[in-house]
């Protein structure tokens, strides 16, 4: 297995690998109605812990997963993002996932996080293809996908909700 990337920097952010001790921080995100409006709705602590365990398993199984991102200048928590293996419309895919705290929306952080994740997906992990998906109502997230170079593939139903699917291929090999 390729060595995992535990931490890294982007121009404005510091990232570190998700850990079990991050349960409370993720629970706060999962309780935020603005964030969770397009991520399946707010979760109670039990569901939040299930999601944390699933995301930690991604690191153990795949050598990649979610990172937590902090503002370099203030150390404020900005959001989470990373790579996850999941079933999308009956096919196993690697998803580039991201969620940003509302106070950091419209500042380009989702684009910065997504770009970093794509770079690692293709250059470090040597993946051939990654996808991004969101509910059809989440136009801001869809704009991020377009801005970083994803190509629209289709509309589909995911977790009983209408979603859009975007894909990016590794053109380097």
Chain mean pLDDT for the chain: 94
**What secondary structure letter does DSSP report for 1?**
-
pLDDT digits (tens, 9 = 90+) for 110-156: 999 999 999 999 999 999 999 999 999 999 999 999 999 999 999 99
3-state helix, strand, coil in the chain (%, to 5): 35, 35, 30
pLDDT mean over 84-98: 95
Enumerate the β-bridge partners of residue 84.
95
- Give the span between the Cα atoms of 55 and 91, in whole angstroms: 19
All structural domains of the chain with their residue ranges? 7-169
pLDDT mean over 42-48: 91
- Give the span between the Cα atoms of 95 and 15, in whole angstroms: 18
Task: Write out the two tokens for 88.
Answer: 């999308």
pLDDT mean over 152-173: 92
Cα dihedral 43, 45, 46, 51 in deg (nearest 10): 60
Q: Name the band, by pLDDT with cuts 50, 70 and 90, for residue 103.
A: very high
Is the pLDDT at 11 greater than 80? The verdict is: yes
- Give the span between the Cα atoms of 140 and 3, in whole angstroms: 33
DSSP per-residue string spanning 130-148:
EEEEEETT-HHHHHHHHHH
Contact 95, 133 (CB under 8 A): yes
What CATH architecture applies to the domain 7-169?
A: 3-Layer(aba) Sandwich (3.40)
User: What is the pTM for the complete model shown?
Assistant: 0.92
* pLDDT score for 39: 78
Enumerate the β-bridge partners of residue 92.
87
């Amino acid at each position: 297995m390729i060595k995992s990337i535990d931490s890294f920097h982007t121009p404005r952010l510091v990232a570190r690998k998700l850990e079990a001790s991050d349960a409370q921080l993720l629970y706060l995100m999962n309780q935020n109605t603005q964030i969770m409006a397009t991520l399946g709705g707010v979760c109670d602590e039990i569901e939040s812990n299930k999601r944390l365990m699933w995301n930690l398993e991604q690191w153990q199984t795949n050598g990649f997963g979610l990172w937590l991102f902090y503002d370099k200048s203030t150390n404020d928590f900005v959001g989470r993002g990373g790579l996850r293996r999941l079933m999308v419309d009956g096919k196993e895919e690697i998803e580039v996932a991201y969620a940003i705290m509302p106070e950091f929306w419209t500042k380009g952080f989702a684009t910065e996080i997504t770009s970093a994740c794509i770079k690692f997906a293709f250059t470090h992990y040597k993946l051939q293809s990654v996808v991004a998906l969101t509910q059809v109502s989440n136009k801001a997230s869809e704009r991020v996908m377009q801005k970083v170079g994803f190509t629209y593939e289709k509309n589909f139903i995911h977790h009983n909700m209408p979603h859009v699917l975007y894909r990016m291929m590794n053109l380097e090999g």
